[in-house]
Amino acid sequence: MQVAKQEILNLEQRYRANLINSITGFKSLSLICTINSENVSNVAVFTQVLHVGAHPPLIGVLFRPVMEGMDTMKNIMERDFFTLNHVPASLALEAHWTSAKWKISEFEGVGLEEEYIAPFPVPFVKGAPIQMGLKFVEKHLIAANQTTFLVGSIEYLSVPDAAIEPDGFIDLAKTGSLAGVGLDGYYKGEKLHRFSYAKPGIKPEII
């Protein structure tokens, strides 16, 4: 398929949504947990998570335009804190199911378990191989489509030691973290290799 802008806009709506959601490539797959001012917890699956910086450690999340029943960003603004949790294959169904319009807590609805790690005020997802606790830093409204790019700082992190290489690299095949594709695709990652630091004129080596 080779198409220009007008043909893309003319595609059937659901077809276009699947296509354009898949076309950016593999996405990280995270469960974001929040609590509101009345301590009601919320958990939702996200694929729009981005590394923003290592020092200070910052992560960005893109939020869809706010609608009734979408509580994650509202809760972050109320409480300042949220958690990001990787999704292993054993929790993929539960993660996907959080995207339904639940009237009850998604934790209860889909059968995920909250895990509190003191002193962090928001629950993590029990069984998530990588867990991060974050604090709100700033947000930006994207004028073109009313989405919001929100930046948080990493205040706590938990990673299995066995997956950390001597120089700090985390092998996500060893953590069993899944990747997302499109709106509903779940993928496993297989490590090919790492390359050495790139310099002009010297071919990078597999490390």
d(CA 100, CA 42): 12
CB of 79 to its own copies, least distance (A): 17
Number of other CB atoms surrounding residue 49 within 10 Å: 18
Considering only residues 161 through 200, tell me which ones interact with its own copies, judged by CB under 8 A.
161, 164-165, 167-173, 177-179, 181-200
How many chain residues interact with its own copies (CB under 8 A)? 115
Q: Is 15 helix (H, G, I), strand (E, B) or coil?
A: helix
CB of 125 to its own copies, least distance (A): 14
d(CA 122, CA 33): 7
87 Cβ contact list (under 8 Å, min separation 6): 29, 30, 31, 45, 95, 128, 177, 178
Q: For its own copies, which stretch binds (CB under 8 A), given 32-40, 72-80, 97-105?
A: 97-105
CB of 131 to its own copies, least distance (A): 9
Is the Cβ of residue 37 or residue 162 nearer to its own copies in the bound state?
Answer: 162
Considering only residues 120 through 159, tell me which ones interact with its own copies, judged by CB under 8 A.
130, 132, 137-138, 140, 142-145, 147, 149, 151, 153-159
- Applying CB under 8 A, among 36, 78, 79, 97 the residue interacting with its own copies is 97
d(CA 125, CA 169): 23
- Applying CB under 8 A, among 34, 42, 47, 83 the residue interacting with its own copies is 47
Considering only residues 1 through 30, tell me which ones interact with its own copies, judged by CB under 8 A.
1-5, 8-9, 11, 13-30
d(CA 196, CA 207): 6
**Binding flag, residue 56, its own copies (CB under 8 A):** yes
